[in-house]
Amino acid sequence: MERATDQAAGNLEGARPVLGRDDPLQKVVRMAEVYGCARLGVMGGTFDPVHVGHLACAEMARDACGLDEVQFMVAPRPWMKGGRDIVDVEARIDMCRLAVEGNPAFSVSTLEAGREGKTYTSDTLRELRAMLPDEVQLFFIIGADTLSTLPGWHEQEQLARLATFVCVARPGREDSAALLAAARAKGFDVEWVDAPLLDISSSDVRRRVREGDTVRYLVPDAVRDYIERHGIYGGGERG
């Protein structure tokens, strides 16, 4: 792909920030240094809570695009979520960490966690680009419904230069060509990945917990246990 050249142009002037020894970005930095290239996938969201559909989407993107690492970027307050109450970001980070345990290609980023005000993807990708060597390619993972809104995102022109966008969608969507054409007309580099996706939403998980219904197999067991242990979403599973 030609995206690596565009991404390099997005790097900020001066030396890169020094990453901590335990920073999950160290993995792709080392790979870039050893092999001359690395591919980092970023999957942003509120993850309120993270569920198996998120994990499946990330894995399909990782496999299809040869990503070396996928980071779950937990947003404290995405601008598109409006006024809805969202569980504390620390709890959502904890749940994501529990969810990705056992998959060496998955990690959780706290880059956005301390950010005040609205959270924009362009800010996050700009920060990542400044932290990483030019040999690391950035891929931002989204779904087809999100792709339809992409041309209207904050700082759209800069956003299009910062990463390749990976759209993971069910096979056979009749509007796939139109969605791709609209995004590419705005300068976005988009990879389309057909994948068997699970019809699960965080809002449905929250509703089920609130009403005392089971969420077993909708979220990882460790996340389910965390929700029950901390009384999140105002309910308790029956039976």
Q: Which residues contact 164 (CB under 8 A, 6 or more apart)?
A: 1, 3, 137, 138, 139, 140, 189, 190, 191
Model confidence over 26-45: pLDDT tens digits? 999 999 999 999 999 999 99
Query: What average pLDDT does the segment 208-235 reach?
Result: 95
More confident residue, 238 or 18: 18
* Measured CA distances, 32 to 3, 38, 107, 125, 226 (Å): 15, 5, 17, 18, 36
Query: What average pLDDT does the segment 16-29 reach?
Result: 78
Query: What average pLDDT does the segment 32-59 reach?
Result: 96
100, pLDDT greater than 60 = yes
Query: What average pLDDT does the segment 90-110 reach?
Result: 96
Residue 47 is given by DSSP the state -
pLDDT of res. 54: 96
Phi, psi of 133 (to 5 degrees): -70, 160
Sign of the C-alpha dihedral computed for residues 10, 13, 14 and 18 taken in this order: negative
Give the three-class secondary structure for 21. Answer: coil
* Measured CA distances, 63 to 60, 69, 166, 193, 225 (Å): 5, 10, 12, 10, 29
State the burial class of residue 83 (Cβ atoms within 10 Å of its Cβ: 0-12, 13-18, 19+): exposed
Query: What average pLDDT does the segment 130-142 reach?
Result: 96
pLDDT of res. 116: 77
pLDDT of res. 118: 77
The DSSP bridge partners found for residue 13 are none
Question: How is residue 52 written in tokens?
Answer: 């198996």
Q: Rounded to 5, what percent of the chain is helix, strand, coil?
A: 45, 15, 40
pLDDT of res. 84: 67
Query: What average pLDDT does the segment 172-192 reach?
Result: 93
Distance CA 96, CA 86 (A): 15
> 39-51 in b/e burial notation, b at 16+ Cβ within 10 A?
bbbbbbbbbbbbb
More confident residue, 149 or 79: 149
CB 72 within 8 A of CB 58: yes
Distance CA 140, CA 69 (A): 12
Model confidence over 158-181: pLDDT tens digits? 999 999 999 999 888 889 999 999
Q: Which residues contact 223 (CB under 8 A, 6 or more apart)?
A: 49, 50, 51, 95, 98, 99
CB 112 within 8 A of CB 73: yes
* Measured CA distances, 134 to 25, 68, 101, 109, 212 (Å): 14, 15, 29, 20, 49
206, pLDDT greater than 70 = yes
Query: What average pLDDT does the segment 16-21 reach?
Result: 66
